[in-house]
Amino acid sequence: MNDTIVVYRSKYGSTDIYAKWIGEALGCRVSEIRNLKKRDLERYKIIIYGGGIHAGGIRGWDVMQKWLKLDLMADYYKSKEGTKSTNPKDEQSKKVMVFAVGIGEKTEENLKQLRDVNLYKKWQTHIPCYIFSGAYRPEKVKGIDGFIMKMMVKFLRDKGLNMSREERILIDRVKDGCDLINKDEISALVEDYKNLI
């Protein structure tokens, strides 16, 4: 387990809670991405990255993708599928899992959308990706974040009768606030991790 690290970015605290639960379950190091430098990841073989969902994106994932040079890993995954790789960097390749924390309904469609927005196409089937239920406290969301949420709610409301059930639920959660954080949600990731090592 010493070659695994959970790295995360949490603005409002939900991802921080999940990251620490995962770290406890796996007995591995946990660190906020802002407390790390790229070179700190060198010694780890498995990186579990988590971030709050922000207008479809996963916070901090852009930085992590650059650090991991995901392009260099293409041959590693090819070799896993049976094609022998000639990339000398394979030895250093890392396995990656991603979790995103949000307040939308956890549907297959939302997970697909999350993958489409955040992962290069070639990684979508190779990097396990999970959505965990987060929290939203309207009184804490200010400035640009408050503006984005206002626009999102307006965009959804403008759909009128075309609004889906999931979109109505999302509007209520933003309007009334919610706390959906639940430790049980990490179990799928923890199980998959065991199969990965």
Ligand X SMILES: Cc1cc2nc3c(=O)[nH]c(=O)nc-3n(C[C@H](O)[C@H](O)[C@H](O)COP(=O)(O)O)c2cc1C
Site residues, ligand X (CB under 6 A): 10-15, 52-56, 101-104, 134-136, 141, 145, 148-149
CA distances from 77 to 62, 85, 111, 150, 193 (A): 21, 9, 22, 41, 17
Nearest approach, Cβ of residue 32 and ligand X (Å): 10
The sign one gets for the Cα dihedral 6, 11, 13, 14 is negative
Which CB atom, from 21 or from 76, has the smaller least distance to ligand X? 21
Our CB check for ligand X shows the closer of 41 and 58 to be 58
What's the alpha-carbon Rg for the chain, to the nearest Å? 18
Triad 100, 36, 120: Cα angle to 5° = 40
Strands 46-54 and 57-58 come out as antiparallel
Query: How far apart are CB 12 and ligand X at their closest, in Å?
Result: 3
Q: Residue 29 or 54: which CB sits closer to ligand X?
A: 54
* Residue (74 or 171) nearer to ligand X, CB: 171
Q: How far is the CB of 21 from ligand X (least distance, A)?
A: 13
Closest distance between ligand X and the C-beta of residue 131, in Å? 8
Six-digit token pair at 185? Answer: 């949600």
Q: What does DSSP assign to residue 134?
A: -
CB of 150 to ligand X, least distance (A): 10
Distance CA 124, CA 116 (A): 7
Shortest reach from residue 111's CB to ligand X, in Å: 11
Comparison of 73 and 119: residue with beta carbon closer to ligand X: 119
For ligand X, which is the closer residue by CB, 179 or 192?
179
Burial category of 186 from C-beta neighbours within 10 Å (exposed 0-12, middle 13-18, buried 19 and up): buried
